Each structure stands twice: as structure tokens, then as C-alpha cells.
Amino acid sequence: MLVRFAASNIRSIDERQELSLVPSAFYKDREEVLIPCREVPTGYLLPSAIIYGPNASGKTNVVNSVRFLRAAVINSQIRGVPDGGVPRQAFALGDREKEPTTLEIEFITDGVRFQYGFEATNRAFVGEWLYWFPHRNRQLLFERTDEKSVRFGRNLKGQNKIISELMRPNSLFLSAAAQNSHEQLSKVHAYVVSMTFEATGSDPRARDLLTKTEEYDRRIIDFLAEVGTGVVGYRTKKPTPDEKHQALMKDVMATISRHLPPEKVETFPLDDDYVLELAHSAKKNKRVFFGVDRESAGTRRLLVILSSVFSALDTGTVVFIDELDASLHTQICEGIVALFSSRRSNPRGAQLIATTHDTNLMRSRHLRRDQMWFTEKDPSGATHLFPLSDIRTRKTDDIEKGYLEGRFGAIPFAGSLPDFLRD
């Protein structure tokens, strides 16, 4: 379970900004949506955080900062070029290029709370740390103090010194440890890897959704039927074999895989794959099956999003969705949020972090006020991230109306719009 995430000097984020899943002590309403968690002092965590803000205010950059942390943990040791530096993007609207980017995440896995983070310049990782909280007392596991030096806590077992010597300036110790099968750090690495991200735009999985078995997740089909997409069933079948095409695709994929991270690599139908087709009701009680490419943009996006959502619910992990409302009706968005807010559908404590412009969600009975966050930029172009709980409100307030009236900030400035229209 995610406790918090913090970032500074990355993309549009200048000074440290923090997103917390710890519930506010001042809110007593809708406590049934909270996730019990004895590892944090409050005893609970929030199942979701929904981020609002005008276009270009930095919502996506908050999500992408976490994504960069994950990519660095996964790829810095195995895919990094020795003299290739670190592919970070410092805050570009100030004199921050020579200063490090700092990212930190706090989470709970297997009943243990961890705090992990790193500092990176364009050339190297210059800081890295991992703490754990046995009996809620913070203790050091390891700390990297420069490009090559790592000191270790007494509770970290294994071949730590040998692994640190294999670590390059532009690779993380955690990444090197995972590549060398460090048993104690595997759970930390596994949690970071388990975080999933869904973005807007063209997704290869939506264009050509595949399944490795003949069975597809029935919950996804049931959800599609419940929200009125017209989908009432499915079938899977083998694609028509084409030996020349298959051989070519295997060669192409082998080449691409050597140069791109796994999440960027498109998948193509191979011999062991099945193609998904969705059933729609037709006249005379018949069913007609369509390939995914003939479905609406919203249905295709739902197939991809729901796959990650139900996987997170099954494993108790966190999923990040950028622009949740893109191509989706507001009631569908609320349905996705509701899946995380019910202990019946979310018994393992999965979490959702989403950006959206859908203000109707502010009225949802599945969201508390401390689950609503905002981004806005200051005059220097820097993103500021803050929760609604920082602003005094009452549970009887119309939050959506207050937001649209500008009471909380984080809305487009439209003061000159009438003049613009007249001109």
C-alpha cells in the first residue's frame, strides 16, 4: 500500500511536492471507504486520490514522476549505458539544471513499511536511501552518499559490498541488488515494479488486445455490460497463421526489445496468443462478435484500464490512471473509483491514483474530501500540489460548486474570456 510520494526538481515540479494517502484526522465521514493499516499511526490509509487542475498545471507530471522512479529502479542497472547519464528532466523554468532531482516513496508490503528514495543529476545518481519501520521505529537499511559510496545498516544481510561494486554511477543500488538476486531487497523491488500506469492516447493493447489463454477476465465483461457498452459476452480465437508475417514480427520485436523499455514495446499476435472478440446482442436473440478494433474508443480504453484495475484489486497494488475521464462517461469513472472504495471488491487494500477534469466525482459518495487533490502553477511556472483538506470545508458543502467558483484555486483563469469572445 502506498503511504506517500514526494518529488522535487522534475518536469514542472520545482520545490518538493508531496502526495499523501494518509487520511485527515479531522474528517470522520465515510470512514467505511478507508483501508485498515496497522503499520501507520492513523491505523488507516486512503484507497484513492483524485487529482484536479487546469490543463498544463502539472497533473500528468505528478504521475510521470512516480513513473520515472519505477523505470529507474527497473532499468538503470540492466539498460543503462555506462556513460549515458540519467535521463531525468529537471525543472526547466529556473536555474535547477545543476541541482539534483529528488524522488521518494513510502509504502507497505508484506506487513512492513519502507521509505525509499534517490537523488539524480544528469550524469549520475548522487544519493539513494532505504529505511524500514519495524515496530514503527525507522531504521536504516542502506544509504548511498555519492556516486559510488554506500553504507549499510546492521539489519541488511547479503552480499551488499559486492553488489555496490557492481553498481555504476548512473545505476541505482536497488536496481543492481535486484539483478543480483538480493533476497532481502527483492520485496522492495517487487513493490516498485508492481505499480502500473495507464495513460491517454493510442495504446497498443487497445488496438490489438491479446490474452495468453482462452479465458478472459469475466469481471471486465460484466463491468462493460453493466455500464451499457452493449457488450454481453466474449470469445477468444487463434489469429489466422501467416508464417512469413510471424517470422518478420519476431525479428522486429527482438530488435525493438533491445532498445526500448518493456512498457514501450508493442505486442503482436504470435502463435501462442488468442485474439479477443466482444459479443453484442442482435435481432432474434443472436449474438454478433466484433474485434476490438471495431469497438468505440471508450470501450477500448476500458478494456485496458479494467485489466490493470482488476489486477491491482487481486494483488493489493497501486494503479495510476492519467485523465481517468478521457473517452469515459462520468458514471463509469465513478464505478471505477467505487471498486477501490468497497472492502468487498477491494479486500487486499489496492489503491488508485488518477488525474481528471470530471468534477461530478466530487459529489460521489465513494470519495472523502481528503481524497481530492489539486495542482496549479505559480507565476514562475512551477506546479504546486495540495489536498482539499488544507482548505477549511464542511461535509455539507457543495465541493463541486465551490471548486468551479474558484474557492479552492486550481482552475483556468477565465477573467478575460468575455472580452476574448467579443473580440
Q: What domains sit in the chain, N to C, each tagged with a CATH number?
A: 2-195+317-404 (3.40.50), 204-298 (no CATH)
Which residues in 306-392 belong to E strands, given as ranges? 318-321, 351-355, 372-377, 383-387
> For the CA atoms of the chain, what is the radius of gyration?
23
Q: Find the mean pLDDT for residues 274-285.
A: 90
Q: Could you tell me which residues come within 8 angstroms of residue 38 by beta carbon, excluding any fewer than 6 positions away?
A: none
Classify strands 44-45 and 210-211 as parallel, antiparallel or unpaired. unpaired
Give the pLDDT band of residue 26 (cuts 50, 70, 90): confident
252 pLDDT more than 90:
no
67: CB partners within 8 A, 6+ apart: 197, 320
More confident residue, 247 or 305: 305
Q: What are phi and psi of 133, to 5 degrees?
A: -125, 70
Paired strand residues for 351: 318
Report the C-alpha gap between 97 and 90 in whole angstroms: 6
Q: How many residues does the chain have?
A: 423
- Confidence at residue 149, expressed as pLDDT on a 0 to 100 scale: 93
Task: Please give the angle made by the CA atoms of 224, 266 and 215, to the nearest 5 degrees.
Answer: 40
The pLDDT score that the predictor gives to residue 280 is: 95
Mean pLDDT for the stretch of residues 31-55: 94
* HSE-up (13 A, CA, CB side) for residue 107: 27
Q: Which 8-state DSSP code applies to residue 371?
A: G
Q: Around 310, how many Cα atoms within 13 Å sit in the side-chain half-sphere?
A: 13
Contacts of 220 (CB under 8 A, 6+ apart): 302, 303, 306, 307, 310
Pull the grid cell for residue 190: 517487487
Tens of pLDDT, residues 330-358: 999 999 999 999 999 999 999 999 999 99
The pLDDT, as a whole number, for residue 200 is: 73
Evaluate if residue 176 carries a pLDDT over 80. yes
- Residue 268 pLDDT exceeds 50: no
Question: Could you tell me the sign of the dihedral formed by the alpha carbons of 213, 351, 48, 189, in that order?
Answer: negative
pLDDT digits (tens, 9 = 90+) for 154-174: 999 999 999 999 999 999 999
Segment 247-263 mean pLDDT: 72
Q: pLDDT tens digits, residue range 187-245? A: 999 999 999 999 876 565 655 666 777 888 999 999 999 998 999 999 998 877 667 76
CA angle 180, 194, 54 (to 5 degrees): 130
pLDDT digits (tens, 9 = 90+) for 385-400: 999 999 999 888 999 9
Q: Are 240 and 305 in contact (CB under 8 A)?
A: no
- Identify which has the larger pLDDT, 30 or 75: 75
pLDDT at 46: 97
DSSP string, 43-84: SEE-SEEEEE--TTSSHHHHHHHHHHHHHHHHHTTTT--TTS
Strand pairing partners for 130?
Answer: 116, 142
- Give the C-alpha separation, 62 to 51, whole Å: 9
Separation between Cα atoms, residue 409 and residue 131, nearest integer Å: 36
The pLDDT mean for the chain works out to 89
